[in-house]
């Protein structure tokens, strides 16, 4: 199957988005969008089961093989929404189906609310609603975000700025396993795409600025308004051992969707890698 996967890229001007594609180019497009600090390889286990679809899995900016944002930019949530808008305009895409995991689900939800004419359906994988906070916490978020940015300023050379060097690929994979619910083989798929070998060993490709604290959060009212404005069909698939954020989000956000269904599968936050056949079956049933 891996031999049939194609490396692709999209030039968006200041950025180049890399990705993986699978399936007949004449089939209907299915766009897959990964979560924070993952990459397009998280959808490799799904690809052979998504029969009859042209599957494109993207690397978000700063992730995988995609460009990092310029030195004077940062990774604001709303800028990812603009990346999607540019992607549609560049390719002159019409309405297409989206499958999105974790952070990718939040971005896709905001995009679907603002641009319903561009999205046919949205499948959320262990992701619902948005991270939000009380309006009274806005100043504290701003302070923490600015201090985090200052500490990790790309112009400051310090020992703390240097990325951790792993002596081997196995070391890097084990490090990823320790901070996730992934098996060694699942983590290896992500690490192989998300790491680069240098003279002294292996370092992560991802932009260090992705770990900066956010300088702002949506209020719950804003988050709910985005969900209420989603007019397309939405399904949530979540793992029985997935994020607790999703369990609470079901109560908070599910009643706000105009067309919504949900399904629980066995697995953790990356259940789509653990249980790709059942996940793909549910995706295809929904979008057909």
Residues designated as active site:
102
DSSP symbol at 1: -
- Nearest Cα neighbor of 1 from 14, 20, 16 is 20
DSSP bridge partners of 123: 99, 235
Burial group, residue 2, by CB count within 10 angstroms (0-12, 13-18, 19+): exposed
What HEC string does 108-158 produce? HHHHHHHCHHHEEEEEEECCCCCCECCHHHHHHHHHHHHHHHHHCCCCCCC
Q: What is the DSSP letter of 263?
A: E
Query: What are the Cα distances from residue 219, in Å, to 75, 113, 127, 141, 257?
Result: 19, 16, 18, 12, 18
Cβ 56 vs Cβ 27: under 8 Å: no
| Contact criterion met (CB below 8 Å) for 18 and 65 | yes
């Amino acid at each position: 199957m891996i031999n049939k996967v194609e490396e692709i890229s999209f030039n968006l001007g200041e950025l180049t988005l890399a990705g993986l594609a699978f399936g007949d180019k004449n089939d209907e497009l299915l766009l897959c969008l990964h979560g924070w600090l993952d990459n397009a390889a998280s959808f490799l286990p799904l690809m052979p089961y998504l029969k009859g679809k042209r599957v494109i899995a993207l690397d978000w900016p700063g992730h995988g093989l995609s460009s990092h944002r310029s030195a004077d930019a940062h990774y604001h949530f709303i800028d990812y929404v603009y990346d999607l808008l540019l992607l549609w305009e560049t390719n002159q895409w019409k309405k297409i189906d989206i499958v999105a995991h974790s952070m990718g689900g939040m971005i896709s939800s905001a995009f679907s609310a603002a641009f319903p004419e561009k999205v046919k359906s949205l499948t959320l994988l262990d992701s619902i609603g948005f991270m939000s906070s009380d309006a009274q916490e806005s100043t504290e978020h701003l302070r923490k975000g600015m201090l985090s940015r200052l500490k990790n300023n790309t112009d400051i050379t310090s020992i703390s700025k240097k990325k951790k060097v792993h002596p081997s690929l196995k070391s890097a994979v084990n490090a990823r396993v320790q901070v996730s619910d992934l098996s060694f083989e699942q983590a290896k798929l992500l690490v192989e795409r998300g790491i680069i070998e240098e003279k002294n060993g292996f370092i992560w490709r991802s932009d260090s600025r992705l770990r900066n604290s956010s300088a702002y959060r949506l209020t719950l009212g804003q988050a709910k308004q985005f969900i209420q404005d989603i007019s397309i069909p939405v399904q949530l698939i979540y793992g029985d051992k997935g994020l607790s954020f999703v369990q609470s989000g079901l109560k908070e956000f599910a009643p706000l969707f105009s067309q919504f269904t949900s399904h629980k599968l066995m697995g953790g936050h990356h259940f789509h890698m653990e249980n790709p056949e059942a996940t793909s079956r549910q995706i295809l049933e929904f979008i057909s």
